[in-house]
Amino acid sequence: MLNEKKPVEQLTETEAAEELAFLASELARHDALYHGQDAPEISDADYDALKRRNDLIEDRFPALIREDSPSRKVGAAPSLTFQPVVHARPMLSLDNTFSDEDARDFVAGVYRFLGKLPDHSIAFTAEPKIDGLSMSLRYENRRLVTAATRGDGTTGENVTANIRTIRMIPQTLPADAPDVVEVRGEIYMAKSDFAALNAEMAAQGRPLYVNPRNTASGSLRQLDAKVTASRKLRFFAYAWGEISAMPAETQFGMVETFKAWGFPVNPLMQRLSSADELLQHYHHIERERPDLDYDIDGVVYKVDRLDLQARLGFRSRSPRWATAHKFPAEQAFTRLKGIDIQVGRTGALTPVARLEPITVGGVVVTNATLHNEDYIRGIGNSGEPIREGRDIRIGDMVIVQRAGDVIPQIVDVVMDERAEGAEPYRFPATCPVCGSHAVRDINEKTGKVDAVRRCTGGFVCRAQAVEHLKHFVSRHAFDIEGLGSKQIEFFFEAEDSAMQIRTAPEIFTLKRRQQKSELTKLENIDGFGKVSVEKLFEAIEKRRTIALHRFIYALGIRHVGETTAKLLARSYGSYDHFGEAMVEAGSLAGDAWNELNSIEGIGEVVARAIVEFYKEPRNLKVVSALLEEVRPESAESRLRRTAPSPARRWSSPGRLKK
Ligand code: IVH
């Protein structure tokens, strides 16, 4: 799915609040899928992108940060399949730093906090940030007694049996180790082991694993320790929890002690004494990164002296004495195998790159966005050359970049490797789904050609029709439980008139058609069953009355998002008023048109899109068929329930511009 979200800078406060609410529930759902059921629905990159968007919105609107914000959570709540373990000392997370400048600020901040020191120089350690899962290993009387995942930071899962299968983790400690010690560090899967495992999966024709970290996590969280034993998991020790006697006075000394006790420690860790040195080492590790046999996503800086760590202490979620300097977007080279054109709800043709699979920052990437046809040709949004004008051709060696972005993108091509005779890509002038002409509109205001080419097929186009239906049933529209993308595709493709759904009103006639039909009963179809069919009908019946703004939003009018739909609902009060006025406004002059344009928050582009929608006879037909089946609640009657207010007329919209 391509991210067509508004840039955060353009969000209004209401939109921001709505999106934060959505992100909180969506991220919680993905956490549960990932940690609780080991069945993630989205890639790590997509998950990170959601989180990053949440952070960006919160940065801009700090007043809107929610109690249940994903940014307040350290990790996921532990799952129920393993015994819970309460950590003797919480397992915290690290603050992130994204630039050299921020890294210098971190060092300066430490100096500032500590004030004047007698010898004045503060040493730091710098080491790779391993992209695995953190683990706490508790030894009592020098024997491993408990191994626990981080969980939510306070309570983790007891995975001792599984950890015992990892050979590089000592089961016992030497005689000089303290009576109680919790050694903490990262469990990971080597890139080479991951590749070998996937090669085996491919040979057996089974689905491939997504990335080493997910696979390590899945391998560790097996109820059957034999499965864990069959996967090669590894460990780096870098921290500690409860400890009955400290064996060293510095971070560096502690890690050396772990090494002496038989734990693997990272060879790239160094003790350094200035911001310059830390940054030098950071860039060294960054250069080494592609050659390391494990995924890393940054460099961790820690104050070396433990007494200074103690003075610096903690903020709510992370220590003040450490930070993780993250690497910027990751890039990789791969071959562009082909370009597919996807057709969206509004007919937009979006080119998607099909790539020779490549791991970028720990994620296997097979698709990337190419934005639009100008982008492929080396032309930017304002007509300026991008990539120094280099175009992108099928067969090219390309540079793929993965950042906090929802979908990876192609940022450049390697001209030296272009095959002789490679042809410039010809963007289709017809819709690949329905064959209708695909055109680039001229923006009436700017006189410029639109970057996006659109299919002119409208409802004739299968792709647009299906996407329209998906939008209609989506969460912020009709939100019909049990009617997701998969089911919509099924009903759309169905040939039998007793179960076909090609337009929204047909959702509401499905039950009647089913009752009449003897032959094709839904409950006999694979994946449905009697109970789920009944539930589906119930869910559909529940939506026969619907809030006006949801109804308007569900129509899928171009440029009419949730916020605009709410504005329209509030302004016109009832669907009758709204519909009538929009038809009347079709002349682009007169009262109705002026009134629509006078609503604060509705600009000319939006106003035009709405009246265009109401000029299309096919749309009017679908809307009136829909109104036979469902009743949009009028906004006034909803208001009246709480506070009586004089009836508002459509001819005097609520929020007028000054
Ligand atoms: S130090 C008090 N060192 O990053 C914090 N953490 O975002 C102690 N991680 O949960 C953590 N490599 O799983 C530390 N060299 C490293 C690390 C590292 C990876 C992970 C760890 C932690 C997370 C924090």
299 lines ligand 1 (CB under 6 A): no
Exposed/middle/buried for residue 119 (C-beta within 10 Å: 0-12, 13-18, 19+): exposed
Other C-beta atoms closer than 10 Å to the C-beta of 501 total 22
CA nearest to 566, candidates 451, 655, 468: 655
Choice between 327 and 382, residue whose per-residue pLDDT is larger:
327
pLDDT at 315: 86
- Which residue of the set 6, 116, 129, 516 is catalytic? 129
| Residue 130 CB–ligand 1 contact under 6 Å | yes
Q: Tell me the domains of the chain and their CATH numbers.
A: 2-72 (1.10.287.610), 84-326 (3.30.470.30), 330-417 (2.40.50.140), 458-543 (1.10.150.20), 555-657 (1.10.150.20)
In the reported structure, the alpha carbon of residue 213 is separated from the centroid of ligand 1 by a whole-number distance in angstroms of 14
Sign for the CA dihedral angle at 617, 621, 626, 628 comes to: positive
Which atom of ligand 1 is closest in space to residue 93's alpha carbon? 24
Cβ–Cβ under 8 Å, residues 339 and 357: no
Is the CB–ligand 1 distance for residue 329 below 6 Å?
Answer: no
pLDDT-based confidence at 605, cuts 50/70/90?
A: confident
**Would you tell me the crossing angle of helices 485-493 and 462-473 to the nearest 10 degrees?**
140
**Structure confidence by residue, pLDDT tens digits, 18-57:** 899 889 888 888 877 776 565 677 777 777 788 888 888 8
Question: For the purposes of burial, counting CB atoms within 10 Å of the CB of 456, is it exposed (0-12), middle (13-18) or buried (19 or more)?
Answer: middle
Q: What are phi and psi for residue 322, nearest 5 degrees?
A: -145, 155
Cβ(136) – ligand 1 distance below 6 Å = no
Mean pLDDT of 184-191: 96
Query: Which of 71, 96, 130 is the best mutation target for the ligand 1 pocket, counting ligand atoms within 8 Å of the beta carbon and taking the most?
Result: 130
**pLDDT at residue number 475:** 81
Compute the distance from residue 28 Cα to the ligand 1 centre, in Å.
Answer: 22
Q: What are phi and psi of 602, to 5 degrees?
A: -110, 115
Compute the distance from residue 161 Cα to the ligand 1 centre, in Å: 23
Task: Report CA(397)–ligand 1 centroid distance (Å).
Answer: 36
Q: Please state the atom number of ligand 1 nearest to the C-alpha of residue 131.
A: 19
- Return the amino acid letter for 379: I
In three-state secondary structure terms, 182 is strand
- Give the amino acid at 338: G
Q: Of all protein residues, whose CA lies closest to atom 6 belonging to ligand 1?
A: 129
Q: Write the DSSP string, 176-231.
A: TS-SEEEEEEEEE--HHHHHHHHHHHHHTTPPPP--HHHHHHHHHT-SSHHHHHHS
Query: Nearest-5° angle of CA 303, CA 305, CA 311?
Result: 80
Would you report the helix, strand and coil content of the chain in percent, each value rounded to 5? 40, 20, 40
- Give the distance (Å) from ligand 1 centre to CA of residue 265: 13
% pLDDT > 90, the chain: 60
- Does any ligand 1 atom lie closer than 6 A to the CB of residue 213? no
pLDDT at 404 over 50: no
pTM passes above 0.75: no
Which ligand 1 atom sits closest to the C-alpha of 150? 10
Ligand 1 contacts CB of residue 239 (under 6 A): yes
Contact 569, 548 (CB under 8 A): yes
Cα 245 to ligand 1 centroid, rounded to whole Å? 22
Is the per-residue pLDDT at 645 higher than 60? no
In percent, how much of the chain has pLDDT > 70? 91
Task: With cut-offs at 50, 70 and 90, classify the pLDDT of residue 80.
Answer: very low
**3-state secondary structure string, 123-151?**
CEEEEEEECCEEEEEEEECCEEEEEEECC
Does the pLDDT value for residue 651 go beyond 50? no
pLDDT confidence of residue 637: 38
Catalytic, 621? Answer no
